[in-house]
Amino acid sequence: MDNDGLRAVIGIGSNSVRMLTARVYNGVLTDTARYREDVRTFAGLTERGLSDEMMVRVLMAVMRLLSVARGAGACDAMLIATSAIRDAVNAGEFARHVREGTGLEMHVLSGEEEARLGFGGATAGLPGCCGMIDIGGGSTELAVGVDGKPSAQISLQLGAARLARTVSASVDPEAVLADLVQSITDERGALPAELPRYWVGVGGTFHTLARVSQGGKSDIEGQVLTRGDVERIADALHRMPLERRASVPGLQPARADIIVPGAWIALAYARTLGIDEISVTERGNLDGCMMVMWG
């Protein structure tokens, strides 16, 4: 197989199914292209597992993206899944449907694996010590390390979609933040006493906050968000009716109901860990998988 051939990694997240296609050489990705389909996987998760309807919806999204990858000439592809599938008691059944429909084996990442891969992908090429926060729909991963190698990582059941299930529109933000800060503080001991000064933000919450802060501009790679930016945007969006929020430039309507909970999670991490600003990146666990598999 051509070592320089195009590869694809498809990731089933709690909000969307994403795909990265790229060529890999010595840990460097080139000819990258990113795709996503919003499916809201977490919304189909119950105590009995992922609903039949959601399994079909997610599988169709995976099949469409795989077709795009093959049409672009991808010579190999892999499939990963994160929090929503991790939580599903019928994940094995869903994996069988995926295998039958696509020929792909679904690799369900543990929270720590997700954090390690996300850190490797998001901080590749960044010198020195850094930290990464990846806010997903069902969980949040955090890792710190040096030169793309994490030295500590944690995964918490704090996701934008998960939190949205438990809070109402009239909730007191400071009460929610107090609970979030306590949850993060409880896990603080797994991290080094001295934390990095440079942080990168991964995932749809940070992407949306960056776009909103720029008035809807799509180029967000390297955009710096301050703690004040997050506080201001979270407060403004929380005060808006849902239908008004959906029309804010840079905010995808499908995220209107979960962006405020996501922003609260980001703000809680900033307060707990003393983070004053964070650099947003579109890189993450798909990039990390690509480099581990074919780098």
The DSSP secondary structure of 255-293, one letter per residue, reads GTTTHHHHHHHHHHHHHHHT--EEEE-S--HHHHHHHHH
25-53 pLDDT tens trace: 888 899 999 999 999 999 999 999 999 99
Instruction: Assign residue 207 the CATH number of its domain.
Output: 3.30.420.150
145 and 192 inside one domain: yes
Determine the pLDDT at residue 169: 78
Q: What percent of the chain has pLDDT over 70?
A: 99
206-252 pLDDT tens trace: 999 999 999 999 899 999 999 999 999 999 999 999 999 999 999 99
Q: Write out the residue range of the structural domain in which residue 92 sits.
A: 7-108
Q: Give first-to-last CA distance, the chain, whole Å.
A: 14
Determine the pLDDT at residue 155: 97
Determine the pLDDT at residue 1: 42
Sequence-distant (≥ 6) Cβ neighbours of residue 111 within 8 angstroms: 83, 86, 139, 141, 154, 155, 156
The answer to whether residue 252 sits within a structural domain is yes
Q: Which residue among 108, 124, 152 closes a domain?
A: 108
Instruction: Assign residue 53 the CATH number of its domain.
Output: 3.30.420.40
265 and 127 inside one domain: yes
180-210 pLDDT tens trace: 999 999 999 999 999 999 999 999 999 999 9
104 and 120 inside one domain: no
29 secondary structure, DSSP code: E
263-272 pLDDT tens trace: 999 999 999 9
122 and 47 inside one domain: no
The answer to whether residue 16 sits within a structural domain is yes
pTM for this structure?
0.95
Determine the pLDDT at residue 152: 97
71 and 121 inside one domain: no
Q: Which residue among 86, 108, 130 closes a domain?
A: 108
136 and 243 inside one domain: yes
217 and 177 inside one domain: yes
Closest CA to 288 of 25, 95, 29, 14: 29
Determine the pLDDT at residue 10: 98
Determine the pLDDT at residue 2: 52
Closest CA to 281 of 224, 212, 232, 215: 224
49 and 61 inside one domain: yes
The answer to whether residue 194 sits within a structural domain is yes
Determine the pLDDT at residue 148: 86
The answer to whether residue 288 sits within a structural domain is no
117 and 263 inside one domain: yes
The answer to whether residue 132 sits within a structural domain is yes
The answer to whether residue 266 sits within a structural domain is yes
131 and 266 inside one domain: yes
273-295 pLDDT tens trace: 999 999 999 999 999 999 999 98
Q: Which residue among 84, 108, 132 closes a domain?
A: 108
The answer to whether residue 149 sits within a structural domain is yes
- C-alpha–C-alpha distance, residues 79 and 8, integer Å: 9
236 and 148 inside one domain: yes
Angle between helices 285-294 and 111-123 (to 10 degrees): 90
The answer to whether residue 274 sits within a structural domain is yes
Average pLDDT across the chain, whole number: 95
Determine the pLDDT at residue 3: 58
Please report where in the chains the tokens 């030295």 appear, as a residue: 151
| Number of independent structural domains in the chain | 2
Determine the pLDDT at residue 127: 85
- Does 69 score more than 60 pLDDT? yes
Count of beta carbons in the 10 Å neighbourhood of residue 164: 18
11 and 144 inside one domain: no
Name the pairing type of β-strands 45-46 and 49-50.
antiparallel
